[in-house]
Structure 1
């Protein structure tokens, strides 16, 4: 683990590590001029060309969407003194929806439906800007000062104008089932719709659909999801039928049977009741 003492970002005072991903750390820092607390995303190792491209893609995606109220605000970017790139975003002290699930279990339906509508709106804007997020999950929905959920972490985002994104990068529990197909042809808006549906399911139930219920090694986890994608999603007691209908359609095995767009998902969910049956 990289010692914080060697993270030298000009103009920022690094305080503590608050998150850790596959390739990068997220650090809490203070902007020395404004005294504002921010989050720094920093690659742990010196990047190769592919990692630099991925980081540049993340910055491009975040910059295009940063003004949306349900997208975490991008504040700046730069390079550390050792040449590693970093991104600066707003600091979300309340953490993520994954933190809420871990601490308190499923969220109330009356809160989840409006929240998911807002996230779908942000995703619709991303798709309109030619950006596929590819990793929608509760851990990437942060609670800001003004909003209950804001889309974060465009680290494996794909630009529809660029076919260089890693083709199978995803979080298995929230990944669209077609990603496991031998003839998988790359990310699509329908894949993001599936991940958003899986996130909605997790917020209502406490865990994503088809969750194995226990830790599995990587080879067994893949086999589990290959089998599970052929079975219907487990029903959720007391969730109104209109909400379950949105879940069933967004989580359909066939991408063509899902909502064609995030906007379609948003509109269907917007009309749903917000009280459990």
Structure 2
């Protein structure tokens, strides 16, 4: 094509704008409208291929159907007199996101949130029309200036790329897409490609915009595909420390290998990212002087660990003593308040260098790790058995949880001490002291929630242990779960109630009152649209989003101690007092084909699914921890709480002797 040549009687080519493998783009003059437009022309060699021509036509039709201001508007399409396909589009003045990042590097968080929100609007409209882009990447996101603000438009719906040695180009014979931004299903099960493939790619773009790197790389296309299929990447906060931990949690969901574990809609994805950043802003405003929302007094200061600064600070020796009895007013006349056990008495937090390392009978090679400034923490790394044993003398571990970075373990002690341990480095990140004994802990969506004996729920920042919020309660909290977007929280306890909270507003939304005895565990289920609770009345009760009871599942195994949800297989598991685990299908709520199996000789106290493998891990009062039917940990004292990391690399157990044991061998070698 030549400058001055007419594509149509009203479209005259002015000058070339860009050249690609499949064709070129020209700036043209629209003689009727008196304005300039962009004309995309398909190369004649590709125009002869029926499949390529059909995809070119599909791009024009798909973009024309979308009325979003964040999609390049198509004005016309057709064939030139020489049989060359063309598309007439609005002419954009700006730069691609790729050019923007190469020019200025990682983007500010607020700009990334705006970029994701605007792209999500375009994708959401396309997905509602059944259109999947399949090639979201920085080159196909165009940033223009509108009244001084960046404005994003999505380019190139439905066009194929030819093979190239660069992994940024798409190979022929595989699903449309650019490998660095392709989802696991595009590399493997092509039949499962749907709108969530675009959301995966948007997650990769977000990661690159924040850090300047893509989450998955490889020297060859095969190596890249293996990395994507494995789904393990470095949290963005590691590459950019000022990013909040909530961003790591958001990224974990956006780049989940399992389709069902990802965000379900583009706007849900964008709103969750904004909420994660908002929580970080709220934490920054409160960090100077965190205060209790109930009492209006300063809460315990966080001592950063480890480091010279931490060692130089004075460790508090006096703490607020917990009440002598649990509040029983809400329990009814048949439930009496009971004195606390001796192990729940507060103990001073001091550095004690004279303590001997934790020893176990028959263990000869001892390599205890002592971190200066810790409250007597003792770590015994048994490399022969791939097990860590941890204890803090004077403090009994009551609950354990892994955050979504896998190698970080949160340990809660009955005395109110909360410890965050980096398992990879074998050293603490921080500790926090709460003014009441701790009964349960959970970590999800960039938050740590701790349930206390005084009825309060304390929300801690995973990065440094700062108390972000204290939700007031009225009875001992036994179970907590956090919604995947971090904005809602469900809790249960000794008052027989199930309560749903708005974390951002700090207020209780709904209360469920149908249980006839204490409630021990709660969980979000069925794509987080429903909730489940299990308790001492031998039932699992299902609730809607307003905590209206919709169904009761009877447990023949006695009291329900713990619940776990497998998102991929749509299964709800309940750990029972008779040593069995019972299963229900979360789509029909009928018992699963293997409705139950006997797991232990004594009650099962804790159960969890390893997300990567959908494998069940559970611990019992008989002192054993099992993965499926296999014992992976046998201890002399009863297991009181157990947790498994998301990828299955670690399983931690809090035992009756007060110690925590961590099995750290890889799942495939268990």
Q: TM-score range by the shorter chain?
A: 0.7 to 0.9
CA distance in 2, matches of 1:56, 1:184: 22
Aligned residue in 2 for 1:208: 214
Q: Could you say which structure has the higher strand fraction?
A: 2
CA distance in 1, matches of 2:69, 2:34: 23
Contact 1:113–1:269 under 8 Å retained in 2: yes
For residue 273 of structure 1, the aligned residue among 270, 277, 292 is 277
CA distance in 2, matches of 1:155, 1:26: 16
Aligned residue in 2 for 1:199: 205
The reply to whether residue 185 of structure 1 matches residue 184 of structure 2 is no
Contact 1:7–1:80 under 8 Å retained in 2: no
Aligned residue in 1 for 2:365: none
The reply to whether residue 257 of structure 1 matches residue 279 of structure 2 is no
1:1-277 pair list within 5 angstroms: 3-5=1-3, 8-10=6-8, 11-45=10-44, 46-65=47-66, 67-146=67-146, 148-156=151-159, 168-181=175-188, 183-212=189-218, 220-236=220-236, 237=240, 238-273=242-277
Q: Assess, with a 3 A threshold, how the Cα gap between structure 1 residues 35 and 6 changes in structure 2: closer, same or farther.
A: closer
CA distance in 2, matches of 1:177, 1:262: 18
CA distance in 1, matches of 2:211, 2:107: 8
> Offset at 1:38?
1.5
Contact 1:72–1:142 under 8 Å retained in 2: no
CA distance in 1, matches of 2:145, 2:87: 20
> Offset at 1:49?
1.7
CA distance in 1, matches of 2:43, 2:258: 38
1:197-242: CA deviation from partner (whole Å, max 9, x where unpaired) = 1111111122322234xxx5xxx22333323541522222222222
Q: Report how many residues are paired.
A: 259
> Offset at 1:169?
1.3
CA distance in 1, matches of 2:26, 2:52: 19
Which stretch shifts more, 31-40 or 226-235?
Answer: 226-235
> Which SS does the other structure have where 1:143 is aligned?
strand
> Which SS does the other structure have where 1:51 is aligned?
helix
Contact 2:92–2:144 under 8 Å retained in 1: yes
Q: Assess, with a 3 A threshold, how the Cα gap between structure 1 residues 272 and 18 changes in structure 2: closer, same or farther.
A: farther
CA distance in 2, matches of 1:208, 1:198: 6
> Offset at 1:141?
0.9
Q: Could you say which structure has the higher helix fraction?
A: 1
1:38-59: CA deviation from partner (whole Å, max 9, x where unpaired) = 1111101233221221122112
CA distance in 1, matches of 2:214, 2:235: 12
> Which SS does the other structure have where 1:190 is aligned?
helix
> Offset at 1:173?
0.6
Contact 1:96–1:140 under 8 Å retained in 2: yes
CA distance in 1, matches of 2:130, 2:231: 32
Contact 2:16–2:24 under 8 Å retained in 1: yes
Select the structure with the greater relative contact order (CA < 8 A; seq sep ≥ 6). 1
CA distance in 2, matches of 1:55, 1:61: 10
Task: Give the TM-score normalised by the residue count of structure 1.
Answer: 0.84
> Offset at 1:132?
0.5
CA distance in 2, matches of 1:145, 1:195: 24
1:164-183: CA deviation from partner (whole Å, max 9, x where unpaired) = xx8611100111022122x4
Contact 1:39–1:88 under 8 Å retained in 2: yes
Contact 1:8–1:81 under 8 Å retained in 2: no
Contact 2:185–2:192 under 8 Å retained in 1: no
Contact 2:217–2:227 under 8 Å retained in 1: no
Structure 1 unmatched ranges of 5 or more: 158-165
Greater C-alpha Rg: 2
Q: Assess, with a 3 A threshold, how the Cα gap between structure 1 residues 255 and 19 changes in structure 2: closer, same or farther.
A: farther
> Which SS does the other structure have where 1:223 is aligned?
helix
CA distance in 2, matches of 1:102, 1:133: 24
> Offset at 1:68?
0.8
CA distance in 2, matches of 1:7, 1:228: 46
Q: Assess, with a 3 A threshold, how the Cα gap between structure 1 residues 49 and 101 changes in structure 2: closer, same or farther.
A: same
